[in-house]
Amino acid sequence: MSITDYLLATFVAYGLPALFVLILVSCVGVPFPSSLALVASGSFAAQGQMALWEVALVAFLAAVAGDQIGYLIARRIGRRLIVLVCRKYGFEMRLENAEAAIHRWGGAGVFLSRWLIPSLSPWINVTSGLAHFPWPRFVLWDVIGNAIWVVGYVLLGWAFSDQVQVVAQILGNLAWTILGLLVAGLLGWQLVAHHRAAAAPAGALAA
């Protein structure tokens, strides 16, 4: 039996308390099958084994709590480590640039990663904590994003309650496809910028 089967079997047997622990730990960063658990819990609600609102509330609270733990650990402990490393290797300027970017785009990153690319969430929590992204803003975007993630996935499980595995697989693949498109767009943009920078002196000489 795989670790995924074992974790989901624990959830099936123990219900909401197990769902809380599974979602919380996965949001802290341990790679647990949280999306499949959410879709499956929606299916169990459709079968009358759990109440839909209880499932959604428990999963939402667990997700928000897990994200706060990841953020606070990075902010309290990780920050000191990264500053030490950057000072040692002379990366202070790069750290400042990264922090500026996170302060500018962090809200969108937190919000979109919660429901569009959930596998990225723990990393965004850590980078937000490391960069001292303001906690009230982090909580605001985290709460809104997690509400969409939890309600969306649970309702999908409720609506397609007899095929939770394939629905969860589609959602997982879709998230990686979206992430791939974003990264490809970013790299493509960098390539175009590189090409223009390389072509510019030749153009200037010709002129």
Q: Which residues fall within 8 angstroms of residue 146, CB to CB, at 6 or more apart?
A: 60, 63, 64, 67, 114, 115
Closer residue to another protein in complex, CB, 7/102: 7
CB 158 within 8 A of CB 46: yes
Closer residue to another protein in complex, CB, 97/190: 190
Min dist. Cβ of residue 12 to another protein (A): 5
Min dist. Cβ of residue 143 to another protein (A): 29
Q: Which residues fall within 8 angstroms of residue 121, CB to CB, at 6 or more apart?
A: 27, 67, 113, 114
Min dist. Cβ of residue 158 to another protein (A): 12
Q: Where along the sequence are the contacts to another protein (CB under 8 A)?
A: 1, 4-9, 11-13, 15, 40, 43-44, 47, 49, 161-167, 169-170, 173-174, 176-177, 180-181, 183-184, 187-188, 190-191, 194, 198-199, 201-202
Report the distance separating Cα 143 and Cα 123, nearest Å: 17
Min dist. Cβ of residue 71 to another protein (A): 28
Closer residue to another protein in complex, CB, 77/200: 200
Closer residue to another protein in complex, CB, 44/141: 44
SS (H, E, C) 124-187: HHHHHHHCCCCHHHHHHHHHHHHHHHHHHHHHHHHHCCCCHHHHHHHHHHHHHHHHHHHHHHHH
Min dist. Cβ of residue 20 to another protein (A): 16
